[in-house]
Amino acid sequence: MHATKPTSEAIAQHLLAALVRAAHAGKRTNLDELVAEIGVRRAEARATLSALDRQGLVDVLRMRPPMLGFAVGTAYASGPLPELRTSAPALARVA
């Protein structure tokens, strides 16, 4: 079975939640720590963080969410997050 590629929306939710958890703990995080925590490829995380930065939800220079990103990330962190990788259904064999 192959795992499906995570959507950018799911990655964004996990990244925002992780950044909020780090902020609540009073610690700074970096790209490598985020990648290790949520389990996505570095390129996927970087592209998603850049998109979140353009939307004003993350300040990538400080690797922290501004007020709007903190509010959105808090909502994600307080609830269940979507799975990043799900197993693709097995294909039925035709005899």
pLDDT surpassing 90 at residue 43: yes
The answer, yes or no, to whether residue 82 has pLDDT greater than 80, is yes
> What pLDDT score does 2 carry?
58
Q: Give the residue-averaged pLDDT of 26-55.
A: 95
pTM of the predicted model as reported, rounded to 2 decimal places? 0.84
Pick the residue with more confidence: 91 or 54? Answer: 54
**Amino acid 3: pLDDT:** 65
Q: At 82, is the secondary structure helix, strand, or coil? A: coil
- The pLDDT mean for the chain works out to 88
Secondary structure letter of residue 84 according to DSSP: S
State the average pLDDT over residues 55-73: 94
